[in-house]
A = this chain, B = another copy of it.
Amino acid sequence: MNKLINDPGNVVADALRGLAAAHPELRVDHEQRVVFRGDAPVRGKVGLVSGGGSGHEPLHAGFVGAGMLDAACAGEIFTSPVPDQMAAATNGVDGGAGVLHIVKNYTGDVMNFEMAAELAETEVVAVVIDDDVAVQDSLYTAGRRGVGVTVLVEKIAGAAAEEGRPLDAVAAVARKVNSQGRSMGVALSSCTVPAAGRPTFDLPDGEMELGIGIHGEPGRRRVPTGTAAEIAEMLLAPILADLDFTGGDGVICFVNGMGATPLIELYVMYQEVAAILGKAGVPIARSLVGPYITSLDMAGCSVTLLKADDEILRLWDAPVRTPALRWGV
């Protein structure tokens, strides 16, 4: 196991210390493992809280800051945070306008965020993200899994909150983005959880796992490795079949790296994705290319399309200042 870590049991704690040291504009509660905006709670603003198992960095802590999340809870690797963490995050970002929970659809996350909402001392609305078209139910999920759209919801709902919209309106934006976004991923290698010390699954050379989950949970099927063009087709066909992406204001096209895939390959994938969308009559309005929701050291990628409208594009373009996404400030 060739990893840049100390004790496999301390990876999350060590990384949070690194995050705090590198980003003094954030405030990290190391005991509760919650990363806050330095100026939280922001008076009068809806607070946005997300979180989940670690190992998907920069999601979620890398998206904490002005224009995006107010706090993120870090669980152990691939393990939901506990309700106490989530409640501490919720109370810590309560500026008097209520708090939105952005929850990826995994059973543990959904259950623990529900308990946290009961524990919290403020009004809470939860939006559950379930954009992965690969499988209907999964190892850790009833219903579709939450993957790449989570990044887009955090950015777009974050901008809506920053504008001063009330809780129900911010939640409505988050729900709209989730309902108009679809994703699918592929793994070219397994990841290795530090505490396990060996690959989560076996993937023989020359094969790939189509529809992989972000914890290495099974996808649709094991298939022979293809070219980038073939892989793009395999990822996009189910996405385009699931939702009509034509007739809007184009899409936000997000090609995401799983952690061990270098950027040059993501741009090769992007051009294949763009070519397919061109043929399908789906214009690209904005794009995002890079490792934003990862699976430790898994090789592979996912593609997310979000059907955009004026409002979504305006909120996407709004200023954001976080460790992993920053523009306009």
Q: Which stretch in A15-23, A83-91, A109-117, A126-134 binds the other chain?
A: A15-23
Q: Which residues of B contact A225 (CB under 8 A)?
A: 2
Query: Which of A14, A189, A259, A301 has the most chain B CB within a 10 Å cutoff?
Result: A14
Q: Is the CB of B14 within 8 A of A296?
A: no
Alpha-carbon distance A23/B22, docked complex (angstroms): 28
Q: Is the CB of B291 within 8 A of A263?
A: yes
Within 8 A of B (CB), among A1-41: 2-7, 11-12, 14-19, 21-23
Using an 8 Å CB-CB cutoff, how does the interface string of A301-322 with B read, 1 for contact, 0 for none?
A: 1000000000000000000010
Q: Which residues of B contact A151 (CB under 8 A)?
A: none
Main secondary structure of the interface of A (DSSP, over half): mixed
Q: Which stretch in A167-175, A237-245, A265-273 binds the other chain?
A: A265-273
Seed contacts A2-B225, A15-B271; 12 additional CB < 8 Å A-B pairs: A2-B188, A3-B188, A4-B268, A14-B271, A17-B271, A18-B269, A21-B287, A23-B287, A54-B264, A62-B263, A259-B262, A260-B299
Q: Is the CB of B21 within 8 A of A261?
A: no
Interface membership of A229, Cβ < 8 A: yes
Alpha-carbon distance A12/B58, docked complex (angstroms): 27
Q: State the Cβ distance, A300 to closest chain B Cβ, in Å.
A: 8
Interface membership of A196, Cβ < 8 A: no
Cross-interface CB contact of A2 among B58, B208, B267, cutoff 8 Å: B208
* A/B interface sample: 22 pairs, CB < 8 A: A2-B188, A2-B205, A2-B208, A2-B299, A4-B261, A4-B300, A5-B228, A6-B268, A6-B272, A15-B264, A15-B267, A18-B271, A21-B284, A21-B287, A22-B287, A23-B287, A259-B260, A260-B261, A262-B294, A263-B291, A289-B323, A297-B299
